Amino acid sequence: MATRKTTRLKKSKVENLFRHANGVYYVRARTNGKQVERSLQTTDYGLAVSLLPDALKNLRGAPLALGTETLGQAVEREAARDDADLKPSTQRYYRQLAKSINASLSVAIKAKPISKVTVAELRDWRDSFAAKASRTRHNGALALLRRVWNRAIERREAAVNPVDALKRLKPEERQWYPPTKEEFARLVESIRTQNKSHSEAAAMTVEFLAYTGLRISEALSITWGDIRDGHIVRRIAKNDEVRKIPLVPAAQDLLMRMRASCLECAPKNAVMPLRSPRIALERACKRLGFDHLRVHDLRHIFATRCLESGVDFPTLANWLGHKDGGILAAKVYGHLVPDHSSKQAARVIV
């Protein structure tokens, strides 16, 4: 716990416990005639109260015993740790999961030294968490907790990883059916005609995602300088590979409209006119009585239109950035194009 001088602390109901303006709790005490304070590195009041006794001892000169990091602290620390082996999107996901995990843990277990947490306690927590979260989120939470204990084992604060006793849940397969071309056109027009300052930008953002198949995290990094010779050219920093995504006619038309709409189109400027069209998309679906669409579903719309137009699975997989040659694309989108197999068979000449 690093020492930090600050005057922006307010007293809590507990002696020696203070809350910073940013929500983080601090312990403050007088030692050797000086007032000293240290961050408890948590915004959770219950956890801060449980950490206070040991923090006071440490602050007044008594060393903490080895292996007394609590589960709540360990989860926060692992999620906040910069890991070169993880993609930035995975690190952001783990930070979100850490908040969900700590919010769902009981105060007693969260404040328990990580070496003392039992498999039975984790199983009780898991059962409660799985009842409210999706199976994918449940599996992500287990992955983060497994990393937490692996780190504790490396520091010799734990001997075994109790998370290994908990099994992942098989994700539910979602058979998704996209809006028709006519319905998508109505959706975009509904967003565009809301007469708000950002309506046109939101509509263009929805189109850009649906016409390129980019994940929103990828799309946000695309600049006008990445648009070259009818392609979007992305260099993937993690493995220094280059991914080229062809611009379908609808995407080319959209980019011409965007260039003509007084947008900043210098090579270093971002192409996306809005960071996320989520709210506009949700409201448009509600107005039109359509099924709920997530921003990520715009990527599915692109994939579906490609398959309906005769693009084969390996080519689509390459455009989407998959590395499996089309196995995942066939699994996810195969039910949407039942005549795709027949079309491919008709091309075979024996």
Count the helix, strand and coil residues of the chain and give each as a percent rounded to the nearest 5. Answer: 50, 10, 40
Q: How confident is the model at residue 226 (pLDDT cuts 50, 70, 90)?
A: very high
Q: Which residue has the higher pLDDT, 57 or 100?
A: 100
- Mean pLDDT, residues 196-221: 92
- Strand pairing partners for 211? none
Please determine, for residue 104, whether its predicted confidence score (pLDDT) is greater than 60: yes
pLDDT bin (cut points 50, 70, 90) of residue 346 is low
Predicted pLDDT of residue 1: 43
Give the Cα separation of 112 and 63 in Å (integer): 18
Look at residue 211 in the predicted model and tell me its pLDDT.
96
Decide if pLDDT at 221 tops 60.
yes
**CATH 1.10.443.10 residue ranges for the chain:** 181-346
What are the pLDDT digits (tens) for 275-329?
999 999 999 999 999 988 999 999 999 998 988 888 888 888 888 888 888 777 7
Residue 38 pLDDT: 80
Decide if 187 contacts 289 (C-beta within 8 A).
Answer: no
**Predicted model pTM:** 0.57
| pLDDT at residue 343 greater than cutoff 90 | no
pLDDT confidence band for 238 (50 / 70 / 90): very low
How would DSSP label each residue in 186-224?
HHHHHHHTT--TTHHHHHHHHHHHHHH---HHHHTT-BG
Strand partners, 27: 17, 38
What is the pLDDT averaged over residues 208-212? 95
Residues 19-47: tens digit of each pLDDT: 988 888 888 887 776 788 888 778 888 88
Residue range(s) of every CATH 1.10.150.130 domain in the chain: 71-165
Taking CA atoms, 176 is separated from 133, 297, 303, 310, in Å, by 20, 9, 12, 19
Residue 111 contacts residue 51 (beta carbons within 8 Å): yes
The CATH architecture annotation of domain 181-346 reads Orthogonal Bundle (1.10)
pLDDT at position 239 is 47
pLDDT > 90: percent of the chain: 39
The residues, any chain, with a CB within 8 Å of residue 236's CB and separated by 6 or more, are 242, 243
Phi first, then psi, for residue 209 (nearest 5°) are: -70, -40
More confident residue, 26 or 144: 144
Instruction: Give mean pLDDT, residues 6-24.
Output: 84
201 or 86: which leads in pLDDT: 201
Residue 341 pLDDT: 57
Dist. CA 30–CA 174, nearest whole Å: 59
Residue 321: per-residue pLDDT: 83
Contacts 24+ apart (CB under 8 A), 221-225: 221/270, 222/270, 222/271, 222/272, 223/267, 223/268, 223/269, 223/270, 223/271, 224/265, 224/266, 224/267, 224/268, 224/269, 224/271, 225/267, 225/268
Computed over every residue of the chain, the mean pLDDT equals 84
| Stretch 106-126: mean pLDDT | 90
| Mean pLDDT (whole number) for 223-236 | 86
pLDDT of residue 262: 67
**% of the chain surpassing 70 pLDDT:** 86
Q: What CATH number does domain 71-165 carry, 3.30.420.40, 3.40.50.970, 1.10.150.130, 3.40.50.2300?
A: 1.10.150.130
